[in-house]
A and B are shown apart, each in its own frame.
Chain A
Amino acid sequence: GQQVMQIPQYQHVQEGEDFTTYCNSSTTLSNIQWYKQRPGGHPVFLIQLVKSGEVKKQKRLTFQFGEAKKNSSLHITATQTTDVGTYFCAGRAGNNRKLIWGLGTSLAVNP
């Protein structure tokens, strides 16, 4: 079945360092979404990417969707302690409404 792999599983950085998490799908996606889950919280939507090669920015966060629409990345520039949490990618294939989630990358930031 369709799978979404996400790496790394954990990342520990010093405040101010950059951070990147990568997602790879076994199948072509119609779109990919990114969510952030704070410890003890629920997933909160960050962004959706739809077009091949799309790049979107939200302040220090940069999201990319690969040309083949099978991979995606989230890059955080100059991390802050408020960035702590688990970042999930979740993809949809075709007209399917089901989101297939990656395992998530847990980010810890040392002040």
Chain B
Amino acid sequence: EPEVTQTPSHQVTQMGQEVILRCVPISNHLYFYWYRQILGQKVEFLVSFYNNEISEKSEIFDDQFSVERPDGSNFTLKIRSTKLEDSAMYFCASTGSGGGITEAFFGQGTRLTVV
């Protein structure tokens, strides 16, 4: 069964450092997303990406965040200068072409710990 893969599974970083979280979406999917989930809390939308550009972003997705699809398979989330409150589980997700059921397939997540 196709799956979304994320690396690393856990990242510890010092406050102020840059981090890049990596995702490989399902190969024939067209829409890509980043969500975050602070421990024990709800899933929060960060950004959606389609046709090589951001299609929507939330108020959480400020200038410290950026996304990129550097090649045909990877989808990355960069946080330029991490803050303590960026500590969370970050999930990448992808959906297909959009007609009918638009089930989101989630990766296993990257747990980001900012110290």
Contact = CB atoms under 8 A, between A and B. Distances in A.
Q: Do A and B come from one complex?
A: yes
Contact of B44 (A42, A43, A96, A101): A101
A108 to B, nearest CB: 14
Contact of A97 (B56, B58, B103, B109): B56
Contacts of A41: 108
A97 B101 contact: no
Interface string B35-69: 00000011111001010000110100000000000
A45 B104 contact: yes
Interface residues of A, number: 21
B75 interface: no
A10 B107 CA distance: 25
Contact of A101 (B43, B95, B105, B108): B43
A21 interface: no
Interface in B90-115: 91, 95, 98, 101-109
A48 interface: yes
Interface of A: 31, 33, 35, 41-45, 48, 88, 90, 92, 96-104
